[in-house]
C-alpha cells in the first residue's frame, strides 16, 4: 500500500508572497520565456538582459497523487518587454479534469483564461478571487508598478502543458498604451 502523505505547514507572507520553508521554488527569467513575448517577433528583445527576473513561484512539495492539492504562490515583478507587460508563461493542465483557484493579495493585473476557442480576461486586484475551471488555460499579467502577488491552489495531479499556449497564445495580449494605461488587444496575426 502507498505511504500516506505527511501533513505540511509553512509560513506564507501575503506582502512578499514568499513561502518558507519552500522545497519547490523557481525563478523565471526573460531567457526562459523564448517564444512568449510579442517583442521577440519585433526584434525588440535584443536590448533586454536575458537574466532579468520576471516572476517567482513557491510551492509546497505535495506528491502528485489523486486527491492531493498544491498550495502555490506567484510573484510577478512590475515591468514590460516592448509594450507587453511581465506575465507568466501560461498553461493548460495536462489532466483535463483539473481546475485551479487564484486569489490576488497584492498589486494589479489581469488573469487570462482560454478553453480552446473562448477567451475570458478578468482584472486582478487585492481580494479578487478567480476560478479557472477544468479545461481552461490560465496566465497572469502584472500591469501595476509593484509586485503582483497571487496565491493559488490546484490538484497535485494536474500536470502542465506549456506547448499549446506557447504555440497558440491566449488570443489576447495585455499591452501598455501610449498613455501608460493597460489595454487588452487581440492577438495580432503572425
Ligand atoms: C500557477 C502557475 C504560476 C506560474 O501556480 O504555475 O503562476 O505560471 P506558469 O506555470 O504558467 O509559468 C498554476 O497555474 N499552477 O498550475
Ligand atoms: Zn495551473
Per residue, the 3-state secondary structure of 59-113, as one string, reads ECCCCCCCCCEEEEEEEECCCEECCEECECCCEEECCCCCCEEEEEEECCEEEEE
Residue linked to cell 500536470: 159
> What is the atom index within ligand 1 of the atom nearest the CA of 152?
5
Share of the chain above pLDDT 70, in %: 95
Whether residue 136 contacts residue 111, with contact meaning beta carbons closer than 8 Å, is answered with no
What are the helix (H) ranges across the chain?
Answer: 38-41, 163-168
In order of start, what are the domains of the chain with their CATH numbers? 11-186 (2.60.120.10)
Pocket-forming residues, ligand 1, beta carbon under 6 Å: 28, 57, 72, 74, 88-91, 100, 138, 140, 152, 154, 158, 160
Going by pLDDT thresholds of 50, 70 and 90, the confidence category of residue 188 is: confident
> Which of 30, 55, 57, 94 has the most ligand 1 atoms within 8 A of CB, as the residue to mutate?
57
Going by pLDDT thresholds of 50, 70 and 90, the confidence category of residue 1 is: low
Q: Mean pLDDT across the stretch 35-62? A: 85
End-to-end CA distance of the chain: 52
Specify the pTM. Answer: 0.96
Amino acid at each position: 500500500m502507498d505511504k500516506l502523505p505527511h501533513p505540511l505547514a509553512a509560513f506564507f507572507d501575503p506582502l512578499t508572497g514568499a513561502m518558507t520553508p519552500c522545497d519547490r521554488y523557481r525563478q523565471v527569467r526573460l531567457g526562459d520565456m523564448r517564444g512568449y513575448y510579442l517583442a521577440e517577433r519585433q526584434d525588440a528583445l535584443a536590448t533586454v538582459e536575458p537574466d532579468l527576473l520576471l516572476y517567482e513561484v513557491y510551492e509546497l512539495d505535495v506528491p502528485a497523487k489523486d486527491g492531493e492539492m498544491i498550495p502555490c504562490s506567484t510573484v510577478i515583478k512590475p515591468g514590460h518587454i516592448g509594450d507587453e507587460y511581465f506575465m507568466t508563461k501560461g498553461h493548460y493542465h495536462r489532466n483535463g479534469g483539473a481546475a485551479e483557484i487564484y486569489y490576488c493579495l497584492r498589486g494589479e493585473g489581469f488573469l487570462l483564461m482560454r478553453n480552446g476557442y473562448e477567451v475570458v480576461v478578468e482584472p486582478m486586484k487585492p481580494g479578487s478571487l478567480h476560478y479557472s475551471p477544468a479545461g481552461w488555460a490560465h496566465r497572469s499579467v502584472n500591469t501595476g508598478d509593484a509586485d503582483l502577488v497571487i496565491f493559488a491552489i490546484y490538484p497535485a495531479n494536474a500536470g502542465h502543458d506549456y506547448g499549446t499556449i506557447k504555440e497558440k497564445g491566449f488570443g489576447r495580449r495585455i499591452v501598455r498604451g501610449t498613455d501608460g494605461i493597460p489595454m487588452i488587444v487581440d492577438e495580432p496575426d503572425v
